[in-house]
Amino acid sequence: MYRMTFLNLALAILFSCFLASCSKPPSALEKVLLRNELVVLTRIDPTTYITDEFGAHGFEYELASLFAKHLGVGIRFTLPEQFHHLLQITDGHEADFSAAGLTVTPEREQTLRFTQPYYAVTQQLIYHYRTRRPKTIQRLNDSFFEVLAGTSHAENLRQLKKKSPELSWVESYDTNVSELLSMVNDNLLDYTIADSNQFQMARSQFPQLNAAFDISKPEHIAWAFPKSIDSSLYDEAVKFLSILKEAGTLEQLQDKHFGYSKHLNYVSICTFRQHAQTRLPQLREFFHLSAKKYNIDWKLLAAVAYQESHWNKHAVSPTGVRGIMMLTRATAKQMKVADRLDPVQSIDGGAHYLKTRTYKIPKRIAEPDRTWMALASYNIGLGHLEDARVITQTQGADPDKWIDVKQRLPLLSQRKWYKKTKYGYARGKEPVTYVENIRQYVKMLGQLEPSTDNSKPIDINGYHALEISPHAL
C-alpha cells in the first residue's frame, strides 16, 4: 500500500517538474523517492550496525531498513571515519539522517533535530574486577580513564567536572567503545564509559568487566536529522516510528537485539567459556553432523545441549532424563535413540526432536519467534505453550509473537490462570529463562567460533529484518 503510494508520489513529482520546469526544488522526502534510495549515517557497534558471515545486522540497521521499506525505496549505510562526524549532518550532507544509537542531549539539540526516542540507556562506568571498584566518579583523577571523543559520555563528564574540578580523563578520536572495553579487559585502561545496552551486549565477550555505577540518569536514544525548514522526511520518520510503537514492533525489535543478554551472570559466562574450551571440542563434530542432517544452525543445537547438560555426556537428572540433550525415556524411544548416554545418539535424537517441535509451530509464525516457541515447547511441552498462547490472545496480545507469549508463560504457575487451561499447571518461568539463556549461548558461540559449515543459520540474533504485516505500515 505505502510502496504504491510513494511510487505514485514520485511519478507525480516528475510530472510536476516537467510542467513547471522544475522551478521549485524537491523536498527532502521527494529527493529520497526520486533517487529511490535512503542514505543513512551509522557506526559499527554491536548495538547499532555490524557485519559478519551473515551479512549486515543490528538494531539500527533493522529499524532504518524498515523505514526504507515503508518508503518503498532501497537503503545504503555510510560509516564516518570518527564518531563526532555522526553529529555533523546538514542539509548538504550525503546522508539523509543519522541512525547510530545517538543520545538526545541539550548540546546536540542546538544543531540537530531528533525524532521521538525509541529506547533509553544510562551511562555506566566500566572497570575490571581486579581493579578496586570506585565508589564515586570523583576518585578517578589518578587513573587511566579514557572515553570516546564526541560522545554524550564526554559531554556528561564535562558537566560533572564543573562540580568536581579534580576529575580528569582522556578523549580519544581514533577508537570506539568496543575497543575501549577491550583495553579495560586487557588492563591497558582502568576505566571507560559505555551505554548500558553496549555493556550488556559486551558482557558475554568480557565477563571480567563490571559496571561500577551509573553516571547519568536514563537518556533517550533517537534518530538525528539536520535542522532545516524542510521537515518532510523528518515528519515521515516521526510518523513511521509512531506506527511501529503502536504496533508493538519497536518493543519486539528491542527484545530481539537486547532482551536476551540480561540473564547470565559473571560465573555463568566464565563457566560457559571454560566448557567451550574443554568439553565442546570433543562434541563439535557431532553437532555439525546433526545440524547438517536436520538443517539446523549448529550453534543453536550446541546451545540447547549446553542449557540441558553443560555438555556433560554422563548427565542424569533426578527425574530420569539423561545425556547431552537430557532426553526422557519416551522421547528417546520416539527418536529411536537406544543409548541416551551415547553423545552421537543423544545429539542426533535431540536435533530430531527439536525439528519436530519446529514443525508443530504454526507456519504463519515468522522467525525468530518460530524458533523461540519451538525451544519453549522443547522445554515445557507443546500443550503448555499453547495454553500460554491462548492466554496471550485472551488478553488482547499477539499469540504469534514470542515477546507477548513469554510474558504470559509465568501465569501457568498461578491457580487463577492454570485452572482455566487445557493442560493445567506448569512452571512457566522456566521456558522463558531456558530460551533467553540459549539465545545468549548462541551469541557467545558466534563470538568464539564463527560459522564454518553450510547448515542453515537460524535467525536468533537479528540477522534478518522482522516481517511486519502490511497493514502495520
Catalytic residue annotation: 308
Of residues 325, 306, 266, the one with CA closest to residue 445: 306
Of residues 31, 24, 173, the one with CA closest to residue 93: 31
**Which phi-psi region, left, alpha or beta, contains residue 267 (left: φ > 0; alpha: ψ -120 to 50)?**
alpha
226: cis peptide before it, omega within 30°? no
Phi, psi (5° rounding) for residue 322?
-155, 165
Determine the Cα–Cα distance for residues 21 and 338; give it in Å rounded to an integer: 80
| DSSP string for 426-473 | --THHHHHHHHHHHHHHHHHHHHS---S-SPPPS-SS-S-----GGG-
The DSSP letter of residue 350 is H
Determine the Cα–Cα distance for residues 463 and 439; give it in Å rounded to an integer: 13
Determine the Cα–Cα distance for residues 352 and 337; give it in Å rounded to an integer: 10
Determine the Cα–Cα distance for residues 442 and 302; give it in Å rounded to an integer: 8
The DSSP H or E segment spanning 192 is strand 191-195
Place of cell 496480545: 397
Of residues 224, 146, 225, the one with CA closest to residue 182: 146
As a dihedral over the C-alpha atoms of residue 245, residue 216, residue 261, residue 64, rounded to 10 degrees, the angle is 40
Q: Within a 13 Å sphere around the CA of 73, how many CA atoms are in the beta-carbon half?
A: 23
The DSSP letter of residue 177 is H
Phi, psi (5° rounding) for residue 201?
-80, -25
- All three cell numbers of 299, joined, read 550453534
| DSSP string for 246-298 | HHTHHHHHHIIIIITTTS--HHHHHHHHHHHHHTGGGTHHHHHHHHHHHT--H
Determine the Cα–Cα distance for residues 76 and 94; give it in Å rounded to an integer: 11
Q: What angle do CA 400, 406, 409 make, to 5 degrees?
A: 110
